[in-house]
Structure 1
Amino acid sequence: MTTRSLLILPGDGIGPEVMAEVRRIIDWFGTARSLAFEVAEDLVGGAAYDAHGTPLTDAAMARAQDVDAVLLGAVGGPKYDDLDFAVKPERGLLRLRKEMDLFANLRPAQCFDALADFSSLKRDVVAGLDIMIVRELTSGVYFGEPRGIVTEGNERVGINTQRYTESEIERVARAAFELARKRAGKLCSMEKANVMESGVLWREVVSRVGAADYPDVELSHMYADAGAMQLTRWPKQFDVIVTDNLFGDLLSDLAAMLTGSLGMLPSASLGAPMAGGRPKALYEPVHGSAPDIAGQGKANPIACILSFAMALRYSFDLGDEAARVERAVEKVLADGLRTADLAGEEGVVPVSTTQMGDAILAALEESV
């Protein structure tokens, strides 16, 4: 029996509640599908700060480097708003991304048919939507130097630097091309080559990589602002989108809301292959820590469960088992079950976090 190692970092707010449902799914795979996972758990974010005075200990960071994949719940909350920037909960997540060199952030935006009416766009625009946005995650304006707030004359100036090397662009482009090759064979690269030199280089490198190694993938280019417009006009024209850190941050959240709820969406952050060939990987739901509902059993666990499905697909090469989880989620939604964030329809009584987990487990049982 192959052992697959996971580090679980539940984090803050609703993180522990949604991660508890993922643990049940993991246990089900061990008993019903004979897929063994060696699971360890540690602290991140505000929980780590409360216990250790830091949002991520060196020991937890070392464990993250050693496992096949990391599953994270959520970090942050108003309790930590007044902390020094260096020890805010979010710094733990950023450290994981940076030190694991997780350069490719995969953000799927998939609209389940049962939830098409939850989108702010018309049903025919979003029904069947299935987009993958690949965001460069470890460079660009969020990490470029110089940065900071300085004084010039009699006023302060905020400085952030957009910086990309050819190799940084090339590796995320290759990740996006590989995904497109396995999907519909279409890749759209988005930047601002009309006003930014980094955008000019981005377009040149992506074009060169596509022409040399991925002639079977249909490559197009679009300015990021036009891309935002097209995502709201006719999103189903896209298959895979690749873009930089800043634009990816904005465009992936825009695409997420096309589906109707941030509580439904998973993500993966992938790095270079480890010794066994698997990429270093961190999986997390897109939603935040939602401290206003923490501990009340109202949280939607689906995004976290689907994040584990992404781990099955991208870290463990278990695409059939990932699809099994996704079909179970789709069935439960088609049957009309809704957590509080989705119970906007008249007469719909929301189920609890645990009840949603129960239903997904039942659907998995039916699939055996």
Structure 2
Amino acid sequence: MTSHRIALIPGDGIGTDVSDAAMQVLHAAAATAGFSLETETFPWSCAYYLETGAMMPEDGIETLRGFDAIYLGAVGWPDTVPDSVSLHGLLLPIRKAFDQYANIRPHRLLPGVEGPLKSESFDILCIRENTEGEYSGAGGRVHQGRDNEVALETSVFTRKGVERILRFGFEQARARRGHLTSVTKSNAQKYSMVFWDEMTRALAGEYPDVTVSHMHIDAMAARMVMAPETLDVVVASNLFGDILTDLGAAIQGGLGFAASANICPDRAAPSMFEPVHGSAPDIAGQNIANPIAAIWSGAMMLHHLGESAAAEAVENALSATTAQGIGARPGSHSTQQITDAVIAALQG
């Protein structure tokens, strides 16, 4: 029997709740499909930081390196640990150390879910550059606390980094409906974003079967609201992709449906899968968090592991569950009720 080793980091708040739900579904899918998931849980979180002074141990990256994939619940407890500490102490180091440069987020309405827009037919795949750009961490502060204080945050765009994320986007568009929208702000950022536009045009010649559109970030935000059905694959820098994918989550019914994958495409290191709704400490442990984004992220992990039949079975079970109204509206069902319904649909 094939077995996949999964590093499980439940994290903080509802991360523990939804990762447990996702694992219940994924183990059920694995049993049905004839493979197994061997999970090892790591307690790295804000609570771990308060105990040890670090979000993960010094050898944390090397510990994770031996796994086939990483599953992350959620990280953050801003009342006790600043987000800048939790983010830079766990999530970003993992993404960068394992070269998970492609962040993938699907945006579509599941059956029975009512979004805020009139359109119900959109199916958008957002590809976000995940390791450099505006989140490179280059910069600093001087004269802190004084009238002449200066803070600098420098975006870093490399030819390698821009080319590979664009190429990844082109390949995804080729495998879907053949349309790529590249998002920049080159009318205002005349170096990095003009460079991005030039790279997009250069690569477009290698993909004659893909139609390419160029949009500024502000116009793109409007397009996602006014005409989301016109979009297929959207590729953007780290910051712009971050913003657009939260907008994508909003139009697909909310963050409870927002799944994501942090992919190392050459598979030289493990990829990481996570819902992007955050840790929501105020509802943690109450059995009311929506686990659909977590389960959907798990299905993306199964696809990456080569278990596509099981992944599609989980996605179909999610659709069957929300079509019955279970988990389709905030607060309508408990975490466990939704989980049980997905497993029943999977096995039935």
For normalisation by structure 1, the TM-score amounts to 0.89
1:342 aligns with 2:340: no
Q: Residues of 2 paired with 1:169 and 1:70: CA distance?
A: 25
1:363 aligns with 2:345: yes
Q: 1:154 to 1:20 in 2, by over 3 A?
A: closer
Amino acid at match of 1:128: S
Residue 65 (structure 1) aligns with: 65
For normalisation by structure 2, the TM-score amounts to 0.94
The correspondence of residues 1-368 of structure 1 with structure 2, limited to 5 A, is 1-81=1-81, 85=84, 87-88=85-86, 91-116=89-114, 119-122=115-118, 125=119, 127-143=120-136, 145=138, 147-151=139-143, 154-196=147-189, 197-212=191-206, 214-274=207-267, 280-313=270-303, 315-338=304-327, 342-343=330-331, 350-366=332-348
Q: Would the aligned equivalents of 2:102 and 2:265 in 1 still touch at CA under 8 Å?
A: no
Higher RCO (C-alpha 8 Å, min separation 6): 2
Q: Residues of 2 paired with 1:82 and 1:356: CA distance?
A: 32
Q: 1:353 to 1:250 in 2, by over 3 A?
A: same
Amino acid at match of 1:149: R
Question: In angstroms, what is the RMSD of aligned CA positions?
Answer: 1.9
Task: Show CA shifts across 1:77-111 (max 9, x none).
Answer: 1342469x5x4365211111121121111111111
SS in structure 2 of the partner of residue 342 of structure 1 = coil
Task: List gaps (5 residues or longer) in structure 2.
Answer: none
Q: Would the aligned equivalents of 2:122 and 2:229 in 1 still touch at CA under 8 Å?
A: yes
Amino acid at match of 1:164: F
Q: Residues of 1 paired with 2:111 and 2:31: CA distance?
A: 31
Q: Would the aligned equivalents of 1:29 and 1:36 in 2 still touch at CA under 8 Å?
A: no
Amino acid at match of 1:96: I
Question: Could you tell me how far 1:2 is from its partner in structure 2?
Answer: 2.0
Task: Show CA shifts across 1:289-329 (max 9, x none).
Answer: 0110111111111111100100111x212323212111111
Q: Would the aligned equivalents of 2:302 and 2:310 in 1 still touch at CA under 8 Å?
A: yes
Task: Show CA shifts across 1:95-154 (max 9, x none).
Answer: 1112112111111111113112xx2222xx2x1221011011111122153x12224994
Task: Show CA shifts across 1:7-64 (max 9, x none).
Answer: 1100000111111112212321332221122211112221331443211123432232
SS in structure 1 of the partner of residue 205 of structure 2 = helix
Q: Residues of 1 paired with 2:151 and 2:98: CA distance?
A: 28
Amino acid at match of 1:200: V
Residue 347 (structure 1) aligns with: none
SS in structure 2 of the partner of residue 112 of structure 1 = coil
Q: 1:246 to 1:205 in 2, by over 3 A?
A: same
Q: Would the aligned equivalents of 1:18 and 1:299 in 2 still touch at CA under 8 Å?
A: yes
SS in structure 1 of the partner of residue 113 of structure 2 = helix
Q: Residues of 2 paired with 1:298 and 1:74: CA distance?
A: 15
Aligned length: 346
Task: Show CA shifts across 1:315-353 (max 9, x none).
Answer: 2123232121111111111112137x624xxxxxx3211
Q: Residues of 2 paired with 1:188 and 1:291: CA distance?
A: 36
Task: List gaps (5 residues or longer) in structure 1.
Answer: 344-349
Q: Residues of 1 paired with 2:327 and 2:236: CA distance?
A: 33
Q: Would the aligned equivalents of 2:122 and 2:231 in 1 still touch at CA under 8 Å?
A: no
Q: Residues of 2 paired with 1:27 and 1:221: CA distance?
A: 42
Task: Show CA shifts across 1:269-298 (max 9, x none).
Answer: 1124235xxx63110001010110111111
Q: 1:50 to 1:236 in 2, by over 3 A?
A: same
Q: Would the aligned equivalents of 2:106 and 2:125 in 1 still touch at CA under 8 Å?
A: yes
Amino acid at match of 2:116: S
Q: Residues of 2 paired with 1:211 and 1:47: CA distance?
A: 50
Q: Residues of 2 paired with 1:211 and 1:46: CA distance?
A: 47
Q: Residues of 2 paired with 1:120 and 1:288: CA distance?
A: 21
Residue 346 (structure 1) aligns with: none
